[in-house]
A and B are shown apart, each in its own frame.
Chain A
Amino acid sequence: MVAHLLRLKLTLLRNSLKRSTAQLVGVILGGLYGLGMLAFLVSGLVFLGSADPELIRTILVIGGSATVLGWIVIPIAVSGVDMTLDPARFVTYTIPMRQLLAGLVLGGLVGIPGLVTLIAALTLVITWIRYPAAALTALVCGLLAVVLCVVASRLVTTAVSALTGSRRFKDVNGIVAFLPLFFLGPIIGGLAAGFQSSPGFAGRLADVLAWTPLGALWAAPADVAAGNPGLAVVRILIGVATLAVFVLLWSRSLSHALVTPPYNAVTKKAGGNLGWFTRFPATPSGAVAARALTYWVRDPRYAASLVLIPLLAVLLFLSGGGAGGAFAFVGPIAAFLLAWAISADVSYDNTAFSLHLSTGVSGRDDRWGRAAALLVFALPATLVLTVVPLLIAGRMEDLPVMLGLALGFLFTGTGLSSFVSARYTYNVPLPGESAFKTPPGTNFLMFVVQFGGWLVMLLLALPEIVLTIVYFVSGDQLYGWLTLLVGVLLGGAVLLIGIRAGGRWYDRRAPELLLAVSRNR
């Protein structure tokens, strides 16, 4: 049975790759990345073997704890990185719990993160090779720790998926769980500062972690090497006990999940509230704008970017040295990101786009509606995010240049996005899925499109950028006002051209656009 589950996972992986070459390319690139990382890790661990045992211990305990933590946190954030062996799919089969658990653990190891973790853990034997007893302990503890990683991550996914019965929870979770990852940068920054400020910090951190379930198993070989087998036994006991508790909890929640099919509690609501539809003009483009704006709030894939913008401001404030530094540029940066956010609009619609096609909406109305929905809130948001930082920093004399740059980005980007979304489609999270989930292997292609788009956007906004630089170099107020003028006029021109070109392309190729998005399912 365990072998069956493993084979099932491999077959599913192979079949999904057969469906598209682009995905295959993505997986190969991911594999190469994993391989590079693995080579780096293994050689690092081998070299580490010649270091002082105290240093080995510190590095292994901290690194190992981070690994376990990663296995726990990442699946929640991405809401099920890999649900190929989703327990819910085995509901109708009679698989003994013991074998299902074993199969799911081994299945969890099949895949790039699993293999990298496993091989790195086995390399610990070489790291400790100078101390034979410690090397042996490392082998046992390494394997146990890898199992702990997989079990912990599975436990978390099962527990979360039990909660995700309601769609509303799913919607919110997809965004909220992402927040810790967003602040990973500052957290790591804080830790790094700790390392720098006091040399003993890392050692003390490792001492603490070694007594927690996260680090205990990684610390045991070091105790053996230090001639303290009793301590090692205690640490292994901590690890094994944690593992046992996790397995027990997991099997409990799994057997609960297997007899509790997802149920979505819905309260009936009578009509009467048309929302944005009453506030926009009753024209095709007005309707498109009202629909798009409704989606900005209700669809987690759009709402996620709304949450990220204020976070970005906070982050820039924290990391950029307060009000004076990078924080001053939050307006232009937010404008840049917001404008690009509608570049995959049709891809996000997926096949719901067929309504636009069957009702015969003109390309002009479709493009204008989507752009208007964005500008309705992006324009005030850009103004606020540009003015407030300057007010805080007391640099109001920079307002024209910053406003020019921000508005230039916003208009140019909206125009570019209006064209791009009518011209190109790519795989995005499907409607109803987490905003941070992408079909496996498509990350690379998406990255290429995104990066290419950003590059074009910077090129189109080059006049504003150059004028901004000239302003800051020369300090001449004239260039600030020039930036504002160029930002509004040139940006506005790009906006009109983008919408017109996108609309024309839409009118000619809308059926092909529908065909392209219907491939992503």
Chain B
Amino acid sequence: MSSPVPSPSDQDNPQQPSGTAALSIRGLAKRFGDKIAVNGVDLEVPAGSFFGLVGPNGAGKTTTLSMATGLLRPDHGQALVHGVDVWEKPLEAKRLMGVLPDGVRLFDRLSGEQLVTYAGLLRGMDRETVTERTGDLLRALDLTNDAGTLVVDYSAGMTKKIALASALIHAPKLLVLDEPFESVDPVSAANIRDILSSYVHSGGSVIVSSHVMDLVQRMCDHVAVIAGGTVLAAGTIDEVRGDATLEDRFVELVGGRNTSEGLSWLRTS
């Protein structure tokens, strides 16, 4: 084992037609009651890319990613993972994907080690591989000393990390990560970034949602800006940001900056 994390394996996956996108989202739409959460989103995540999905709170990022990963049934549209339709052939598509959903609970009465093992066994992997990879993942994410602690007693950042480990265990070809850096400490975040970069270098594809622009600009090679349930801009980082920083471009696209005086009474002197 040279790399701490399993790299996306090709041998157990059927040969995909070359040139297909890792994730292709076509016209996904979802309505909750009167509110249209996602209004016809189209996205192409090229194979081998590190794709950032950015948007303000309530933009529809989580809803879009849930529909793309088979967790939430879309009202319209389709999602293809390496050419496999997520809603037509869910089992086949889910084998190709590792998912870190945001805002869901974990089976937190299991210890960290048990949870990652559980995720591996649910995928139908054999025990030896699961044991070996679980150890590697816990080491890489600096959780070895807490491997036997129940996840319910983990801090928020540790919980994120163990959920990430559960998403990586089967060496997927595509990683879908919803807010993977939320409440993760800087050192762990740097470690996770390294893991993800080397994963992309070895041929994997990653899509992350975030609202930390700086992070996305440094880490990703592609980006899509989403607000109000629609895609405002998408492409390589340089295409989207032009001459400005990604943050300035984002604010310009999404709007909503207050340029007035602000809270004039909030002064200490």
Q: Which A residues lie at the B interface, using CB under 8 A?
A: 167, 264, 266-275, 277, 282-284, 286-288, 290-291, 294-295, 298-299, 349-352, 354-362, 431-432, 511-512, 514-515, 518
B113 contacts A274, CB within 8 Å?
yes
A355 contacts B119, CB within 8 Å?
yes
Q: From residue B244, how far is it (CB to closest CB) to chain A in Å?
A: 36
Contacts of B263 in A (CB 8 A): none
- Rounded to whole angstroms, the CA-CA distance of A299 and B150 in the bound complex is 11
Q: List 15 A-B contacts (CB under 8 A).
A: A268-B146, A269-B149, A270-B147, A271-B148, A272-B148, A274-B113, A277-B118, A277-B121, A287-B121, A352-B105, A352-B106, A355-B118, A355-B166, A356-B122, A359-B123
For A264, the closest partner residue in chain B by CB is B153
* Chain B, range 97-137, C-beta contacts under 8 Å to A: 97, 99, 101, 103-114, 117-119, 121-127, 130, 135
Asked if B215 is at the interface of the complex by the 8 Å CB criterion, the answer is no
A sample of 4 more A-B contacts (CB under 8 A), given A286-B121, A511-B72, is A271-B144, A282-B125, A282-B126, A354-B101
- Rounded to whole angstroms, the CA-CA distance of A514 and B69 in the bound complex is 13
Contacts of B70 in A (CB 8 A): 357-358, 360, 511
- Rounded to whole angstroms, the CA-CA distance of A264 and B156 in the bound complex is 14
Asked if B29 is at the interface of the complex by the 8 Å CB criterion, the answer is no
User: Which of A167, A271, A354 makes the CB contact (< 8 A) with B71?
Assistant: A354
A268 contacts B71, CB within 8 Å?
no
User: Which of B105, B117, B135 makes the CB contact (< 8 A) with A431?
Assistant: B105
- Size class of B's contact patch? 35 or more
Asked if B61 is at the interface of the complex by the 8 Å CB criterion, the answer is no
User: Which of B97, B109, B111, B144 makes the CB contact (< 8 A) with A273?
Assistant: B111
Asked if B211 is at the interface of the complex by the 8 Å CB criterion, the answer is no
Asked if B249 is at the interface of the complex by the 8 Å CB criterion, the answer is no
- Which among A270, A286, A356 has the highest number of chain B CB atoms within 10 Å? A270
Q: Which B residues lie at the A interface, using CB under 8 A?
A: 69-73, 90-91, 94-95, 97, 99, 101, 103-114, 117-119, 121-127, 130, 135, 138, 144-150, 152-153, 166-167
- Rounded to whole angstroms, the CA-CA distance of A277 and B149 in the bound complex is 16
- Rounded to whole angstroms, the CA-CA distance of A277 and B148 in the bound complex is 13
Q: From residue A472, how far is it (CB to closest CB) to chain B in Å?
A: 43
A359 contacts B94, CB within 8 Å?
yes
- Rounded to whole angstroms, the CA-CA distance of A431 and B109 in the bound complex is 9
A271 contacts B113, CB within 8 Å?
yes
Contacts of A283 in B (CB 8 A): 121, 124
- For the complex of A and B, list the 5 residue pairs with the smallest distance between their C-beta atoms, beginning with the closest: A271-B147, A269-B148, A287-B121, A360-B94, A282-B127
